[in-house]
Every structure is written in structure tokens, then in C-alpha cells.
Amino acid sequence: MHFFNTAGPVNKNDHYCIDPLSRFDLSNIYMLVEQKKYMMLHAPRQTGKTSYLIAFSEFINNEGKYNCLYLNVEAVFTGANDILESMKGILFELASRARDYLHDTFPESIAVKVLEEKGPNLAFNELLTLWSKNSPKPIILLIDEIDALEGDVLGSILRQIRAGFDKRPQLFPQSIIFCGVEDIRYKRIADPNGNSVTGVQGFNVEAKSLKLSNFSREEIKSLFDQYTSEKNLDVEPEVFEAIWHLTRGQPWLVNALAYEICFEMVPRKQDIKVISLREVQEASENLIQRREIHLTNLLERLKEEKVKKIISPILTGEKIMNDPSEEDVRYLLDLGIINIDRNTIHIANDIYKEIIPRSLIYPTQLLIQYNLASYLDDNDELNLRKMLKAFQSFFNKYYERWVSYFYYKDAGPFLLLQAFLQRIIDGGGQIVRQYFLGRGRVTLLIKWPTKSSEQNVLIDMRYLTGNLKEAIKEGAEILGIEMMNLGIKYGHLVYFEKNYTSLSEQKVFSQNLSKGYTIDVWKI
């Protein structure tokens, strides 16, 4: 039985999958190996790096020219400065894998001896030297999770590899591929004097840095086709475009959506013959609400200051006040949290756009009391004006107390409004968020099912800067254009005071611009 994989490397015998070797130019990697190059393969977590390395090692070994060994160092790391125990673990793991996968017992026979005689800062170099000298074929070493190592341990490993580089291939591996989330050229480590330096200063033999891409639209379709052709199911054409926007091809997200649809939802709908857009939307919401482990790991990163420095302005649409360093931007790119399109930073995909603010507001959202029925009319339409009036009162009473709980305080008012709305909209509707970094605004598209159709309302959130009258004129004009483009008749323009310190007089402006739509303007 095949299924979609969401944990660990892919296995063609078990999983619907994209051939790992097809995801990178195999001839280019092989050429670099032939040229005795050392290189870095990096990509965000759960994008298929390990699957690629394992498939590559099998390919190389089957070809017969080299002995290729895959080595994962994450599990054997015992601490940033515990060099002896960590090095012991790395040597023994290498020896074990060489024995089991290459049927080569030589590393196992010398591991203890080299560690005792050479010590942890020379043992890895010595083992690779003696192993290469004894091996009938040049050695290719694939070191996975290299960036999981820290401090003295990482520094020692890199220095030992650099020291043996000139001895390849007779007395050192012909080629080494390092793999991790971060490119170790830019990872900060300690030099022998204890000074913090970037990896490129501590390690200058890496010839090439390669990044594993997300799935393409065609690969997403190919993955689903493996299941639907087997089960004789059709797929609505818009499904694949929706999955693309939700995931931007992030492999774990694609597989998780596919598993949710095909193995959780479809079996419950036994008469289903066509996978529709509705299943995709429901599956996406299920993943967000369950906060699967991949998403939980992502959200843990939000607590890091260099992540907050970039994500917080995105959540308010403001400019990044202190220009982020290239190192910070690269770090978020490596994590897969952001991408850059037309020189503008964006949250990487629509699921991340949803899960990031919703995770930040979740504890607050749970504590907000509401009565859904009080905000519905006879057609089951939401009365957004009544909701925003209620929020205005709520904000006046509780702003300072609630926002003090937010880690992202600069985005506090925006997050508090979303928490208030999300608590109600979760009763059956959907909020679609759009961020405009550097343009001072964030929009919320409220989608709500009614008795007759679907209600759509657009809310534009901004900080008030400058003259209120001029701000309203500019904001209403931009919001009105968007409403016309989307065919929306009702919208709300919400201005928050940037430095809210007291219960200033609140005003609501209702503006009918006589262009087929109505905009309510709120100052909070």
C-alpha cells in the first residue's frame, strides 16, 4: 500500500513520491564529484534533502566507481562544547554505517584507537585519512544535518576536514557533500581563540553551494496523479493551482495536504468521484488548526529575535525600520519562512501566512467571549459593523492588558483585532490575509457562508500617521479599487493610533463613495 509521506526520507516501495534524483541536476552533481569538489546542499526542513542524499549514495554505489557513505551527525551531537563525546559518537556512527551499508569494517576496527591516540580534535581527520588509504575505491562522504552541530564541535569538524583537503583522493575523501538547513559558509562558529566567525572564515574548501528547490506545479500534479489514477478519481482543474498557492511547492506541505485529502477526508466521503477545491480548503484548515509538527517547529522560530525583526513589520505592513542584515534575510530564506519576489520580502506561502498570525493570537483568541448569534442577521450574514463596534469597546477596555501578552508587541493592535475576529469567524467562515510590507497596510478578506450565497467583506488595517482626513482619503481610494476588482460591496478601513496610551475619543465614519460600494472608516 502506498501513501503520501510526511515523516522521514521517501521510500518508493511505500510512498507516492517524486523521484529524489530528478529534483536536482544529477549530471552537475556528478561532475563536481569527478572534479573532487566539496559542496553544500541546503534547504528548509522536510523538503527532501535526506531523501536526495540517500538516493544519490545508492546511485553512486551501484555505479561502482566510488564508495559512497551517507552519515547523519544530528543524533550523535551531545553539546556545543563536548567535543570528546560528540566526536566519539560521530566516529562510531560512521564506522557503523560503513559496516552495514558498504560492508567495510575498516573504520570500525580503528575508531577507538584513533580517538585514544589523536584526541577529538584530530581523530576525524585521522580516521578519514586511514580509511581513504585502505579503501580500494575513492570515498564520497555525505554528511547530513551538519548545521545541527554547534560551537567547538562544528568548528573542530570543519577544521579537520579543511586540514585533510589537500590529501584527497588517495588519503582523504574525493568529495564531501555537506547537507543542512543553513549553508555552513554563513553559520557562526568559534575559531580556536574563541572568537565568533562565520563558517566561510573557518572553512574555505567548499566549492559550491546548492539549494534544493520546492516542487514545481508539474511535480505537484504528478504526485497527485499517482494516487488518483490508482483510485480512478478525477481532480478539478483549479485544485492544483490552489495547492500551489497554499504551499508554493513546499514538499512537506504538499504531501501533508495530499495525505489529509486522500487518506483522511476521501475515505469518509465514500461516494466521492472528484477531488474539488472544497477538499483542498478543508484540508488546509485542518492542518492549520492541528498545528502539525512541521508547523510547530516553524512557529518556534518566531521567538528568535532575528526572525521577529523581519516578520513583525510584515504583520503590520510597515517598513523594516532597521535594515535587516544579509545574514538575517538569508537565515529566514534558509528556514523557508520567507521568499523574495521582485525585491520584496514575502511570507513564503499562504499556509504560513495563516499559521503565523493565528499562532501568535491563539492563546488570546481562546479567552475572548462571544455570541455568534448576536452578530448574524436573518440571512445568516455577519454584521461586521456591529462586530467592529464591539471590538472598539473591547479594545478600549483591554488593550494594554491583552497586548502586554503579545511577543510581537509592535503588531499588537493588528493581532488583537484578528484574534477578536478569528474567534467569531471560526464558527463557520474564513479569513484570508494579505500583507503589504512597506506600504503600511494589512488586509483581511472575510468569507462567510449565508443561506443564499457567500458573504465577502474586506477589512484594511493601518497605523494612523499624519493627518486623519488625508489618511482616510488615500486609504479609502486604495481599498475601493481593491473592492471593485474583487466585486465586493462592503469594506472597512481601520486606523489604529501608533502610540496608544489613553482612551481617546473614538469616531466612526461611514462613507458611501457612490461607486457601487460602501466603506466604513474606523479610528481606534
- Residue 294's pLDDT is 77
Q: What pLDDT is attached to residue 120?
A: 94
Looking from the CA of 408 toward its CB, the CA atoms found within 13 Å total: 29
Domain 217-290 falls under CATH 1.10.10.10:
no
Beta strand ranges found along 122-246 (DSSP E)? 139-144, 175-180, 188-190, 196-198, 206-211, 234-235
| pLDDT of 500 | 58
Instruction: List, for residues 403-434, the tens digit of each pLDDT value.
Output: 777 788 889 899 989 988 988 888 788 899 99
State residue 77's pLDDT score. Answer: 74
Q: What is the pLDDT of residues 172-203, one digit of tens each?
A: 999 999 999 888 877 766 555 555 555 544 45
Q: What is the mean pLDDT of residues 33-62?
A: 93
Alpha carbons 21 and 61: distance in angstroms, whole number = 14
What would the DSSP string read from start to end of 344-356? Answer: EEEESSHHHHHHH
Neighbours of 229 (CB within 10 A): 9
pLDDT at 206: 63
Q: How much is the pLDDT for 196?
A: 55
> pLDDT at residue 288 above 80?
yes
Higher pLDDT, 392 or 324: 392
Looking at the chain, the whole-number percentage of residues with pLDDT higher than 70 is 92
- Whether the predicted pLDDT of 50 surpasses 60: yes
Are the beta carbons of 50 and 72 closer than 8 angstroms? yes
Report the mean per-residue pLDDT for the chain. Answer: 87
Cα distances (Å, whole numbers) of residue 188 to 48, 150, 183, 201, 300:
25, 9, 10, 9, 20
Residue ranges of the chain assigned to CATH 3.40.50.300: 19-211
Whole-number pLDDT of residue 461: 96
Q: DSSP code of 390?
A: H
Q: What's the rounded Cα separation, in Å, for the pair 227 and 259?
A: 10
From the list 476, 264, 307, 270, the residue with the least C-alpha distance to 408 is: 307
Per residue in 52-105, pLDDT (tens digit) is: 999 999 999 999 999 999 999 988 877 767 889 999 999 999 999 999 999 999
Q: Check whether 45 has a pLDDT greater than 80.
A: yes
Query: Residue 165: what pLDDT?
Result: 93
User: Where are the CATH 1.10.8.60 domain residues in the chain?
Assistant: 217-290
pLDDT of 24: 85
Instruction: Look up the pTM and report it.
Output: 0.87
Contact yes or no for 150/193 (Cβ under 8 A): no
Residues linked to residue 432 through DSSP beta bridges, in sequence order: 445
Is 19-211 CATH 3.40.50.300? Answer: yes
The pLDDT of residue 394 is above 90: no
| Plot region of 48 (φ>0 → left; ψ -120 to 50 → alpha; else → beta) | left
pLDDT at 321 over 80: no
Beta carbons of 27 and 21 less than 8 angstroms apart: no
